[in-house]
Structure 1
Amino acid sequence: MRETFFGLREEEYLQIKDALGREPNDIELRLFSVMWSEHCSYKSTKDLLALFPTEGKHVLQGPGENAGIVNIGSGFGIAFKMESHNHPSAIEPVQGAATGVGGIIRDVLAVGARPIASMDCLFLGPPSDERSNFLREGVIKGIANYANCTSVPTVGGLTYYDPCYRENPLVNAMCAGLVKLDKVISSGASKPGNVLVLLGSKTGRDGVAGAAFASTQLDDAVKESKPQVQVGDPFAGKVLIECTLEILDKGLIVSMQDMGAAGITSSAVELAAKAGAGAEIYLDNVPLREKDMEPFEIALSESQERMLLAIEEENFDEVKALADKWNLECEIIGKIITEDKYVLKDKGEIVANVPASLLTSSPKIEWPKREPVKVEVKYPKDETIMLERGDLSRLANILYSLPQFEDKSWIYEQFDYTAQSRTMLGPGNPVAILYIKEIDELVALAVASDPWRCAVDPFAGGAETVARAIRKLAVAGSYPLGMTDCLNFPSPEIPENFWSISEVVKGMAAACRELDCPIVSGNVSLYNESPKCAILPTPAVCAVGAFDGKTFLKSNDPDVSDKLFLAGKDGQLQASAYQRIFEGKLTGPVELLDFDAERAFCERAIKTATLQAASSGRCVGHGGLIITLMRMTAKAELGCKIKGADEKLLFGEGGPRALYSVPEAKTEDFLKIWKGYPIREIGTVINNKGIHLI
Structure 2
Amino acid sequence: MPHVNATEQPQINLDPLPTVETARKLGVLPDEFERIIAILGRQPNFTELSIFSVMWSEHCSYKNSIVWLKTLPRDSERMLAKAGEENAGLVDIGDGLACSFKIESHNHPSALEPYQGAATGVGGINRDIFTMGARPIAQLNSLRFGDLTLPKTRRLLRGVVKGIGDYGNAFGIPTVGGEIYFDECYNTNPLVNAFSAGIVEVGKVAKATSYGVGNPVFIVGSATGKDGIHGATFASEDITAASTDKLPAVQVGDPFMEKLLLEATLEIIATGYVIGIQDMGAAGIICSTSEMSAKGEHGMIIDLDKVPTRQTNMAPFEILLSESQERMLVVIEKGKEGIIQGIFDKWDLHCAQIGEVTDTQRLHFYRYGQLVADVPAHDLVLGGGAPQYRRDYKEPAYINEFRKFQIASVPDVPAAELSAVATHLLSHPNICSRQWVYQQYDSMVGTSNRSTNAPSDAAVVRVKGAGIPKSEKSIVITVDCNSRYVNANPYVGAQIAVAEAARNIVCTGGEPLAVTNNLNFGNPYVPEVYWHFVEAVKGMGEACRRFETPVTGGNVSFYNQSSDDGPVFPTPTIGMLGLMENPDNRMTLNFRPAGGDLIYLIGSPQNDIASSEYLYSYRKVKASPAPAFDIEQELAVQATVKQLITKKLIASAHDISDGGLFVAVAESAMAGNTGFAITTDGDYRTDAYLFGESQSRVVVSVAAEQQSAFEQFMERTHIAYSQIGNVTPADFVVNGQTVLTSAEAAPLYNNALGKIMA
Q: Normalising TM by the smaller chain, what interval? A: over 0.9
Task: Tell me the SS of whatever aligns to 1:632.
Answer: helix
Bigger shift: residues 388-397 or 610-619: 388-397
Which residue in 2 is equivalent to 1:271?
Answer: 292
Which deviates the most, 637-646 or 71-80? 637-646
CA distance, structure 1, for counterparts of residue 712 and residue 558 of structure 2: 47
Residue number among 433, 438, 451 corresponding to 1:407 in the alignment: 433
Aligned to 1:611: 647
In the alignment, is residue 589 of structure 1 matched against residue 615 of structure 2? no
Please give the alpha-carbon distance, in whole angstroms, between the structure 2 residues aligned to 1:246 and 1:673: 52
The two structures have a TM-score, normalised by structure 2, of 0.88
- 1:78·1:179 contact (CA, 8 Å) conserved in 2? yes
Moved more, 68-77 or 623-632: 623-632
Q: Deviation per CA, 1:567-623, whole angstroms, max 9, x where unpaired?
A: 111253111111111332333434674332222111111112222221211111122
Hey, what's the Cα distance between the residues in 2 that align with 1:672 and 1:71? 36
What's 2:15 paired with? none
* Structure 2 match to 1:525: 557
Q: What are the residue-to-residue correspondences of 1:101-112 with 2, within 5 Å?
A: 101-112=122-133
Q: Does 1:362 align with 2:402?
A: no
State whether residues 120 and 252 of structure 2, in contact with CA within 8 Å, keep that contact through their aligned partners in structure 1: yes
Q: Which position in structure 2 is the counterpart of 1:47?
A: 67
Partner of 2:580: 547
Q: 1:366 to 1:590 in 2, by over 3 A?
A: same
For 2:436, give the aligned amino acid: W
1:564 to 592, 599, 624: 599
Q: Does the alignment pair 1:72 with 2:93?
A: yes
User: Secondary structure at 1:8's aligned position in 2?
Assistant: coil
1:4 and 2:29 correspond: no
Say yes or no: does 1:190 pair with 2:223. Answer: no
Cα distance in 2 for partners of 1:286, 1:353 equals: 18
Q: Does 1:347 align with 2:379?
A: no
Equivalent residue of 1:164, what SS?
helix
Question: For 1:222-371, what aligned pairs fall within 5 Å after superposition?
Answer: 222-360=243-381, 361-371=385-395
**Residue 661 of structure 1, aligned match among 701, 723, 726:** 701
Q: Deviations over 1:409-453 (max 9, x none)?
A: 221111111111111114954200011242221221121101001
**In 1, distance between residues paired with 2:632 and 2:123?**
40
Q: Pick from 509, 517, 522: which aligns with 1:477?
A: 509
In the alignment, is the contact (CA less than 8 A) between 2:456 and 2:508 conserved in 1? Answer: no
Is 1:639 aligned to 2:675, yes or no?
Answer: yes
Question: Equivalent residue for 1:14?
Answer: 34
| Paired amino acid for 2:711 | L
Aligned residue among 649, 664, 673 for 2:689: 649
Give a deviation string over 1:8-40, Cα, whole Å, max 9, x none: 111111111122111111110000000000000
- State the secondary structure of the residue aligned to 2:264: helix
Matched with 2:106 is 85
- The answer (yes or no) to whether the contact 1:642–1:684 under 8 Å persists in 2 is yes
Check the 8 A contact 1:553/1:612 in 2, yes or no. Answer: no
| Paired residues of 2:472 and 2:581 also in contact (CA < 8 A) | no
Contact 2:485 2:627 in 1 (8 A): no
Partner of 1:175: 196
Contact 1:558 1:632 in 2 (8 A): no
Look up the equivalent residue of 1:630 and give its one-letter code. A
Match in the other structure for 1:436: 463
Q: Take 2:472 and 2:657, find their aligned partners in 1: how far apart are those partners?
A: 31
Specify the code of the residue in structure 2 equivalent to 1:373: A
The corresponding residue for 1:372 is 396
- 1:490-546 CA-to-partner distances (Å, cap 9, x unmatched) read 111111111111001100000000111101121000000111112000011111111
CA deviation after TM superposition for structure 1 residue 321, in Å: 0.7
What is the CA distance between 1:387 and its match in structure 2?
10
Is residue 2:41 matched to residue 1:29?
A: no
**Aligned Cα root-mean-square deviation (Å):** 1.7
In the alignment, structure 1 residue 689 sits paired with structure 2 residue 731 = yes
Q: Take 1:688 and 1:370, find their aligned partners in 2: how far apart are those partners?
A: 52
Supply the distance in 1 between the matched residues of 2:731 and 2:364 (Cα, whole angstroms): 69
Q: Is the 8 A contact 1:490 1:537 kept in 2?
A: yes
Q: Displacement of 1:179 after TM fit?
A: 0.5
Deviations 1:81-140 (A, max 9, x none): 000000000011000000000000000111111111100001111222100000000000
The one-letter amino acid of 1:564's match is I
User: What is the deviation of 1:267?
Assistant: 0.6
Counterpart residue type for residue 112 of structure 1: G
Change (3 A) 1:135 1:368: same
Does the CA contact (< 8 Å) of 2:211 and 2:297 recur in 1? Answer: no
> Aligned AA for 1:657?
R
Deviation at 1:683, TM superposition (A): 1.1
- 357-366 or 225-234: bigger deviation: 357-366
1:486-501 alignment runs, 5 A limit: 486-501=518-533
User: Are the equivalent residues in 2 in contact too, given 1:79–1:176 (CA < 8 A)?
Assistant: yes
- For residue 669 of structure 1, report the CA deviation from its aligned partner: 2.4
Q: Could you tell me which amino acid in structure 2 is paired with residue 369 of structure 1?
A: Y
CA distance in 1, matches of 2:551, 2:129: 16
The answer on whether the counterparts of 2:413 and 2:687 sit within 8 Å (CA) in structure 1 is no
Would the aligned equivalents of 2:609 and 2:694 in 1 still touch at CA under 8 Å? no
Contact 1:643-1:683 within 8 A present in 2 as well: yes
Counterpart CA distance in 2 for 1:521 and 1:689 is 45
Task: Quote the Cα distance in structure 2 between the aligned partners of 1:621 and 1:201.
Answer: 44
Structure 2 counterpart of 1:485, one-letter code: N
Instruction: Provide the rounded CA distance (Å) in 2 between the counterparts of 1:233 and 1:691.
Output: 51
1:388 to partner: Cα distance = 6.0
The gaps in structure 2 that reach 5 residues or longer are 1-18, 404-410, 465-469, 737-758
1:75-224 matches, cutoff 5 A: 75-188=96-209, 190-224=211-245
Q: Structure 1 length as normaliser, TM-score? A: 0.96
Contact 1:81–1:522 (CA<8 Å) still a contact in 2?
yes
2:14 aligned partner: none
Structure 1 gaps of 5+ residues are 379-385
Hey, what's the Cα distance between the residues in 1 that align with 2:304 and 2:735?
70
Q: Distance in 2 between matches of 1:691 and 1:220?
A: 51
Larger Rg: 2
Separation (CA, whole Å) in 2 of partners of 1:434 and 1:460: 30
Tell which deviates more after alignment, 89-98 or 419-428: 419-428
Amino acid of the structure 1 residue aligned with 2:171? T
Instruction: State yes or no: 1:465 paired with 2:502.
Output: no
Distance 1:22 1:608 in 2: 68
Maintained 8 Å contact 1:78/1:178: yes
- Per-residue displacement from partner, 1:228-280 (whole Å, max 9, x unpaired)? 00000000011100111111112221110000000011011111000011122
Which of 450, 460, 463 aligns to 1:424? It is: 450
**2:645 maps to 1:624:** no
The share of aligned pairs that are identical, in percent, is 37
Kindly tell me: are residues 277 and 104 of structure 1, through their superposed partners in 2, closer, same or farther at Cα, counting changes over 3 Å? same
Aligned match of 2:616 in 580, 588, 598?
580
